[in-house]
Chain A
Amino acid sequence: MDIRVNVREAPGDCYVVDLSGEIDVYTSPKVKDAVGELIDRGVYHLVINLEKVRYIDSTGLGVLIGGLKRVREHGGSVNLVCTNPQIKKIFDITGLVKIFGIFDNEDAAMKALV
């Protein structure tokens, strides 16, 4: 079980973080490091693509919430791309759909960045 993280620059002052695999208590530090590194470099507009994520738990949600909190301090935003119904369900029941922009594809998530 592992998570693969790929960071790529997108048009504008925006970066896309592609995640693939499972985000849990073991793998979430890797995601936290990748997102934290971008924010430390002054990247405050992020799209995190969860299309290839098969599983996420509260530690993964915590990493996303932590990233959002940090970029918002700088007027930034984090949008998510998520098509997996089970993962969408977790965002739904935890109420996180209200604080993240969640989109079905990357283009929509990019266009909606503040």
Chain B
Amino acid sequence: MTRARRSGLAWLTALALMAALAAGLVVASSPRRPATAQDAPAVTVQKAHAGSATPTLKRRVVLLTIGSDSGAPKFGRGGSVEGGRADALQLVVIDTVKRRGSILSFPRDSYVNIPGHGTNKINAAMAFGGPRLLVATFEQLTGLTIDYYALTSFDGLTDIVNKVGKVQVNVDMNLRDSFAGAFLNKGKRNLTGGQALAYARARKTLPGGDFDRSRHQGQLLLGGLGTYQRQVKQDPAKVMTWLGIIRDEVKTDLPFPELLRLALLATDVPASQIRSIPVPSVAGSAGGASVVRLLPGAYSLFGRLRAGKLS
């Protein structure tokens, strides 16, 4: 054997040895990986469980939602939101246990007693004494304790709807109202902020006038609830988006923790379980001004609410 051949053989032997050693080490080391969660043998520790919950609040929550005709610079409305007249008035009554409720829509011209101010249109109460007096007026009228109010303006309503990205409303009639700028066809419509405001304001061309308008305002609230629920179902973090918008656009005496709890509860109250009820009333006049007088049916409605039979 030549020296060159012997040298080559030695290299080959060494390489083969190293390869064998390396292979041996790899094989030997494989089962020695430290145990991880993925390595765990298939012992079933947990069965599948699912659950969810939203807050359980006191049995009934009554919220007065108010749309002011002031404090809306975008619409040329000066003054403060709280110092204006309350042109949209809904009483929202939620049974938090049965997860159902009612929205009572009041015509703004309802002729009622305002504590300390005699009889007048209900929308004047806020101009006389701010939201507190308006709440007191409603409490005296209905016999219900109103827990909180939520107040916004034209600007606030349009901003809310635009920021949440349109609100789906069941428009109940074809509308051609140039006074309010409402041009909508009957059916399910996704309304922009401007369209939502127009729908809430249109009155002059509607057959029922103020009655139709207050019903539309109730529909708008329900549409907002449905839109909120759909968005939160898709993305639970939308609760924070909506709360942020409400924080910026709505004046309320709701403490934040209660606002959050109500917002969470609202995800759990099907819109189909909320009835929109126009308060029974009839057109009339007082001192030459056109007003709306509540009918006896309105007072029996309040009685049923007080007894917890409606919400």
Same complex for A and B? Answer: no
A residues lining the B interface (CB < 8 Å): none
